[in-house]
Structure 1
Amino acid sequence: MALTGKLEIDVEIKAPPDKFHDMFCNRPHHSQHACNDKIKGCDLHDGDWGTVGSVIFWSYVRDGKAKTLKEVVEAIDSEKNSITFRVLEGDVMKDFKSYVITIQASPKSGGEGSIVHWTMEYEKQHEGIAHPEDALQFAVEISKDIDSHLTQGN
């Protein structure tokens, strides 16, 4: 059983790619308004919103349990509407040595909207840890909630 892994999922949304990217890049603290049953807080611990090297602290609820996550923004590509986070601390790190999340929003071919591509690369602490497939469902739910928030009234 491999200790390293990579999970990916695509989520179709109605919002334009730049708006979705802007939410995670420049306004992640607004995501708690879109996903208030999942995201309870998002605070900037170091740096500035929308800049590489910034440290963000999340409070969220997953599987009915309060959790935390501290991450650093590793890369931003505004032309490709992509952002990469490396998890530094929090509940995820109890099971993983490393955990990197990349979110990229691309225009949907043949129409309005976007395809949001989530990639999660990780190294487990030991072989007894399950691959985090449940994180993909959480990503889908967050994407749909943010999409609804961005497109309401349209």
Structure 2
Amino acid sequence: MASSALTGKVETDVEIKASPEQFHDMFTNKPHHLHHSCKDKVQGCDLHEGEWGKVGTIIIWSYVHDGKAKKSKEVIESIDHDKKLITFKVLEGDIMEEYKSFLFTLQVSPKSGGSGSVVHWTMEYEKRHEAIDHPQTLLQLTVDISKDIDAHLTSPN
């Protein structure tokens, strides 16, 4: 049984101008287009197995984290179109050097009392040992990527 000090969860909310549908569609059906909106953070997203927008699909992200080019092989574990929710489980890659398990959940909800949305990111993980930091810089990366995608989705052209 893993000690509770090794398992963790970090969460954050990002307010955006785009609709929940636009943002959810980008991560669910068009993650391979993400690099157009945040080239400095996401270099690419390649389909490894399956098809875009389907549970069980395996994708490989190429991204920059803490100034280094990294990769992450992930499976789409769940998609809930009604709740605008998608979950990615990390299978292989740089993240797995520090974590035994890692799960990203992204949910987009309409902003209460106005236009726009709130993107809720959750990361659940088990660290390989106590000296590993909680993934705060990775969480910040998701905030920055969310803002870049929002700017791309809401730009006039």
Could you say which TM-score interval applies, normalised by the shorter chain?
Answer: over 0.9
Q: Any conservation in 1 of the 2:77–2:88 contact (CA below 8 Å)?
A: yes
Point out 4+ residue stretches in structure 1 off by more than 6 angstroms: none
Aligned residue in 1 for 2:47: 44
What is the letter of the counterpart of residue 93 of structure 1? M
Gap regions ≥5 residues in structure 1 = none
Deviation, 1:124, is: 0.3
Q: TM-score, normalised by structure 2?
A: 0.96
In the alignment, structure 1 residue 116 sits paired with structure 2 residue 119: yes
Aligned with 1:33 (options 13, 36, 41): 36
1:78 alignment counterpart: 81
- Residue 48 of structure 1 aligns with an amino acid whose one-letter code is E
Distance 1:77 1:108 in 2: 18
Matched, 1:132 2:132: no
Identity of aligned residues (%): 66
Corresponding position: 1:63 with 2:54: no
**Distance across 2 between alignment mates of 1:63 and 1:128:** 18
Question: What is the CA–CA distance in structure 2 between the aligned matches of 1:134 and 1:82, rounded to whole Å?
Answer: 22
CA distance in 2, matches of 1:110, 1:139: 25
After superposition, residues 6-21 of structure 1 pair within 5 angstroms as 6-21=9-24
Stretch of structure 1 that moved more, 128-137 or 116-125: 128-137
CA distance in 1, matches of 2:151, 2:37: 8
Residues 103-112 or 126-135, more deviating: 126-135
Of the three residues 93, 96, 106, the one matched with 2:96 is: 93
Q: Aligned Cα RMSD in Å?
A: 1.0
Q: Aligned partners of 1:125, 1:27: CA distance in 2, in Å?
A: 32
Query: Structure 2: which 5+ residue stretches go unaligned?
Result: none
Partners of 1:16 and 1:24 in 2: how far apart?
13
Using the alignment, how far apart are the partners of 2:53 and 2:111 within structure 1?
A: 24
Question: Which amino acid in the other structure matches residue 31 of structure 1?
Answer: L
Separation of aligned partners in 2, 1:100 and 1:19: 23
State the 1:16 CA deviation: 0.1
Distance apart, 1:41 and its partner CA: 1.1
Output the TM-score relative to the length of structure 1. 0.98
Amino acid at match of 1:10: D
Q: How far has the Cα of 1:142 moved from its partner? A: 0.3
- Supply the distance in 2 between the matched residues of 1:63 and 1:90 (Cα, whole angstroms): 15
How far 1:62 moved relative to its partner? 1.4
Secondary structure at the counterpart of residue 10 of structure 1:
strand
